[in-house]
Amino acid sequence: MLKGHPNGMIAMAVFVFMLTAVPKLNIRVGPVPLYIIDIIIVFVIYYAGRRPGFGVGGRPFQWIILALFSFTMIGEFVGFIYTGSIFEHVYQAVRMTLAFLVFYATGQLVRTSEDLELVIKAAALGVIVTASMMILTSLPQTRGFVAVFVLDNTFLDPAGRQVAASYLNSGDTGVRGRTLVGVSILGASFINLSWPLAAILYSWPNPIGRWRTVAMVACFLAPMGVLMSYSRGPILGAILIVLFTVLLGLKRVRKGVLRPVGFGILLVMLVGVNSQVFFFDRLTNRSAAIFDNPLEDERESERLLSYVEPFEHVLEHPSFFLAGQGIAILKSNAVVPEVAGKANHALFAVSYYANGMAAAVLHMCLLGSAFFYVLRHVKGRRSGIGQYFSQALLASVVGIAPWAIFGHAMVSQPRGAMMFYFILGLLTSLRHFPVHSNILTDKETGHAYGRHIAV
């Protein structure tokens, strides 16, 4: 897989696999885990810095991401002023800095169809690992074995022993699955974002040998992995991926999305919706709660109030317009952070309390900009690898939406931020691929048609 590729792309492929499969792989340095993925990112950044500049027209999203990075660093500094504990805030700031740099490194390194092929191969392997873990930990027949021999390893997850213990005592029916990425909602969201990349590998126009089989396995495992998270946000994300694939005619990802979903529906019907191997009662009960009395159940009211309370709070605390209190403050016993007791089950709310109102609004603007940016590329590409690439990225961006609406890991967890900025970095790489249409503006196509396509 790695033979003949430059060192920078080898490092990038290793990073992508680790991000999508085992992002919490670590070694202990005293009481602190040193995550291997952070070391890999340092190599990725080093090789990215040796590549040529991005090209005419500049890097998409760079100013808004630079602003978000600034607000993130300010938030951790303010948090340090409150707690006086420098180590936790520096540690968080360093890991988040690496996550932001993933955005720049990805756009620098992924420049050709060979680069893209290597990246999506790594992503397909990651989907297989993560979706398999979600399924095996959900099913009662395999849960105990996986808990003992996989989850119960602190080098794969610093909290592995506690996680394994909870799954060994979870009964003989289906439960929400767990992955080496993290909890069910995070693991399933990672699957949604990576699944479309595996889908274009499944339909790749060039001969790829056994990798087509690998891609097929990844695509067929992905929807079942998302389903067995029993998390409404990721399942909604998978539904949106299917709908956009059909409604927008995303033919390059269609085979890797529609066939696996159809197979999954057939499999569930054959086993029986009421079978003990499934946990559909949770989906039914939690979905009903949304429409019955959403404000009476904290799990539902938090999602609604996450978009109300921040505006009330900023009126009482104007300093939160430009600066939050960071994320590391949540680990402090010295002070009670402002987010304590507040609704924070959404990207908007967590971004507000951590980085300020301006950052929260910028995150929403960034998501909207990413969607319309990739949509223009999909409409403007009629052939070539760029068409495959843009259609996969549109599906991935669609999958981000429910994660952002109902989750917050892209702000609160460095690995969530790494995945988020990896996808955004891939969006910027679209400019390195030739465009076979005149729909896009000259700014979008200038250096795609230039003498050196890659720069």
Is the pLDDT score of 446 beyond 60? no
CA 234, CA 229: separation in Å to the nearest integer? 8
* 86-129 pLDDT tens trace: 899 999 999 999 999 999 999 999 999 999 999 999 999 999 99
The CB density around residue 137, as the number of other CB atoms within 10 Å, is 27
Choice among 345-349, 438-442, 450-454 with the minimum mean pLDDT: 450-454
What is the pLDDT, as a whole number, of residue 292?
56
* 25-67 pLDDT tens trace: 999 887 888 999 999 999 999 999 998 877 767 889 999 999 9
What is the pLDDT, as a whole number, of residue 300?
65
What is the pLDDT, as a whole number, of residue 384?
86
Is the pLDDT score of 455 beyond 70? no
Question: b/e per residue, 338-350, with b = 16+ CB within 10 A?
Answer: bbeebbbbbbbbb
What is the pLDDT, as a whole number, of residue 376?
93
